[in-house]
Amino acid sequence: MSASLPAWVPSHCPDTATDHGERVLHAPGEPAWVDCGDDALELRVLELLRHSGRLVAELRTRGAATCLPDCRGLELFVRRGSVTIDGERLGPGTYMRFPPESERVPSLVLDADTLLALSAGHILHSDTETRIIDTRADDEWLTGPVEGVEILPLHGHGTGNIMLVRWLATAAFHPNLDPAGEEVFVLAGELHDSAGTYGTDGWVRNPVPAWQSWAGTPGTLIWYKSGHFPSDVSSASDSSHSA
């Protein structure tokens, strides 16, 4: 995976959530937003491992439009506002994924009040597929694992799978996951498990999913990832399960 972080990640931000064998929870509103050194950009860091170039965060513009000049290796979801790429303006609900080995250098122009959820360092170098998906198209959604839940697959490569999950009714289900665990970002509504409730902007990283059940109510929407953790986490998890 890519070992370089975007230039707009502040050098003073410390590594955080570095142990993928531990459960990590960031409630809405935490951690605090930090200035990116650009008057127009702020970052909310959820996971940061500089040595491996891994980042999970939210990025927002602050009162002015700005440009992200090189988005190779990034995965992004437009939560608010809009971005422009190659003259095309893309609004809320747009998912984008740019492989690190792309010959094309994708640049995004972010409008003045734009909020993105994003990750870096999660895309394998063998993954060469660019994706831009409008997730608001209802005909793309599929029947989920239980009644009242729908899923929208966004990408899959190797062991990694990324999807949106939305609730049309009150329902709960047990995911069938990679042994290394799962990562969940609450985009709307409230998500529930045996440990608590996670509102909009909440982020949970679960390393051991065997006990996990997720529940939601109508309007709950999550960005769901599994199989994307470092290989040493999967190996350690496999060993613990076979012991």
Q: Which long-range contacts (CB under 8 A, 24 or more apart) does 145-152 make?
A: 145/173, 145/175, 145/176, 146/171, 146/172, 146/173, 147/171, 149/173, 149/216
191 Cβ contact list (under 8 Å, min separation 6): 184, 197, 198, 202, 204, 214, 215, 216, 220, 222
**Sole residue written with tokens 């975007």:** 6
Element (H, E) at 236: helix 231-242
Question: Looking at the domain covering 24-134, what would its CATH class be?
Answer: mainly beta
Cα 59 to its chain centre, rounded Å, is 12
Residue 117, CB-side half-sphere exposure with 13 Å CA sphere:
20
- pLDDT of 209 reads 57
Neighbouring C-beta atoms of residue 132, cutoff 10 Å? 14
Of 58, 54, 8, give the one whose Cα is nearest residue 32: 58
- In angstroms, rounded to a whole number, what is the distance separating the alpha carbons of residues 218 and 216? 7
Indicate the length of the chain as a whole number.
243
Amino acid at 6: P
- pLDDT of 107 reads 93
- pLDDT of 192 reads 93
**Sole residue written with tokens 């909310």:** 44
What pTM value is reported for the model? 0.90
Strands (E), 103-148: 108-110, 115-120, 131-134, 142-143
The series of mean pLDDT values per 10 residues for the chain, 243 residues long, is 77 92 91 89 96 94 92 95 95 95 90 96 89 93 95 89 96 79 94 91 82 88 87 46 37
What CA–CA distances, in Å, run from 18 to 111, 126, 157, 229, 242? 32, 24, 23, 11, 24
- pLDDT of 124 reads 86
Tokens representing 151 are: 């899923």
- In angstroms, rounded to a whole number, what is the distance separating the alpha carbons of residues 77 and 152? 13
Domain with CATH 2.60.120.10 in the chain: 24-134, 138-232
3-state helix, strand, coil in the chain (%, to 5): 5, 45, 50
Determine contact, residues 60/42, Cβ cutoff 8 Å: yes
- pLDDT of 177 reads 64
What is the CATH number that goes with domain 138-232?
2.60.120.10
Q: 31: cis peptide before it, omega within 30°? A: yes
